[in-house]
Amino acid sequence: MTTKIHVVSGIQPSGKLHVGNYLGAVSQFIDTQAIANGERFFFIADLHSLSEDFKPEQKKAETYDLLASLLALGLDQKKSTIFLQSHIAGHTDLAWLFSTVIPVAELERMTQYKDKASRQKANINAALLTYPILQAADILLYKGQSVPVGQDQEQHLELARIIAKKMNNRFDTDFPLPVSLPPHNNRINSRVMSLKDPKKKMSKSLGDQHVINIFDEPKIIEEKIKRAVTSSEGKEGSSGGDNLFGLLESFKNDDSIVKKYRSQFIKGNVQFSELKKSVSVAIISFFSKSRKRYLEMREDKTYLDTVFDMGRKKAQSIATATLNETKQKMGLL
């Protein structure tokens, strides 16, 4: 008998999706629909996004935009349970139960907490510290075993495993120990760096000129890549030029083009203007069909609400069962 593997992951509605998001996690979401044996749960982590500075009306727009983006890229509600985190009663409840078994010291060592706190010094809220507990609840509420996420989330997954072990040992629960899902194709490149500062990972928090938004107008993508930095050694010893070559390898179907620039890299005579043009063409072409679907889908909020409602019904029944089971194990009536 084949063991079913439950896949769970989420993504925050905090601005437009960029190529770093796609290569770090979203492409894995989509790939699991064809290969995963078991249930797949993908959610928009709107509760997590409240830990950052935000405007309520903008948050609503970003949530719809993210759902339209994921569906346009290939996430399918017939193959996966797609839902909005805040629609499900149980995530925050389970997080509170988990918070009773995890020491504060475990949270304070999280590098993402330190990084986010340094970037929003005027708003170092408690949610930044407890974020990994809610993330553990997100996963374990659905008995998640495999989690397709970027490398920067591995420390949070480690904490989820610690929480699961503590709960199982103390209360005889049966939470699995979740692990990151290995990449399934050669498009995965979770270390996409900023266009303007190759020392830092591509992130919306750095500013719009640092990222390549998947559904930007082609001319905007071309201009951003044209102005991309090609020097400045990064933390991993990779320059802006290496970053561009990595993007070409990720999105270009023509191996001869990739081989051409690889040869130039080895010889040290890269024509960066040509490389940038090839990267632009590759990215624009790769997302062209998805972009058309996205432009249509983002205007149809009735359809998007239907997708959320379908996902809510299935996710809620599972979440309720797990939460009630955990409460009983902990002695709550």
Catalytic choice (59, 204, 226, 327): 204
**Which structural domain range is residue 55 located in?**
7-186+301-329
Q: What is the pLDDT of residues 189-237, one digit of tens each?
A: 457 899 999 888 898 888 899 999 999 999 999 999 999 998 744 333 4
Is residue 59 part of the annotated active site? The answer reads no
Domain count, the chain: 2
Is residue 116 part of the annotated active site? The answer reads yes
Distance CA 190, CA 181 (A): 13
Q: How many CA atoms lie within 13 A of 36 on its CB side?
A: 24
Q: Residue 62 maps to which CATH number?
A: 3.40.50.620
Q: What is the DSSP letter of 26?
A: I
The rounded Cα 240 to chain-centroid distance in angstroms is 23
Catalytic choice (166, 201, 252, 276): 201
pLDDT value at position 187?
A: 47
Q: What is the pLDDT of residues 102-138, one digit of tens each?
A: 999 999 888 777 777 777 777 888 888 899 999 999 9
Whether residue 237 lies inside any domain: the answer is: yes
Distance CA 95, CA 153 (A): 18
Query: Count of CB atoms within 10 A of residue 271's CB?
Result: 11
45 and 161 both lie in a single domain: yes
Whether residue 2 lies inside any domain: the answer is: no
251 and 324 both lie in a single domain: no
Taking 50 as the pLDDT cut, the residues of the chain under it are: 1, 186-189, 232-238
Is residue 16 part of the annotated active site? The answer reads no
pTM above 0.75, yes or no: yes
pLDDT value at position 24?
A: 86
Contact yes or no for 210/201 (Cβ under 8 A): no
Catalytic choice (116, 143, 196, 224): 116
Q: Strands (DSSP E) along the chain, which ranges?
A: 7-11, 40-44, 81-84, 146-147, 179-180
Whether residue 63 lies inside any domain: the answer is: yes
96 and 23 both lie in a single domain: yes
Strands 179-180 vs 81-84: parallel, antiparallel or unpaired: unpaired
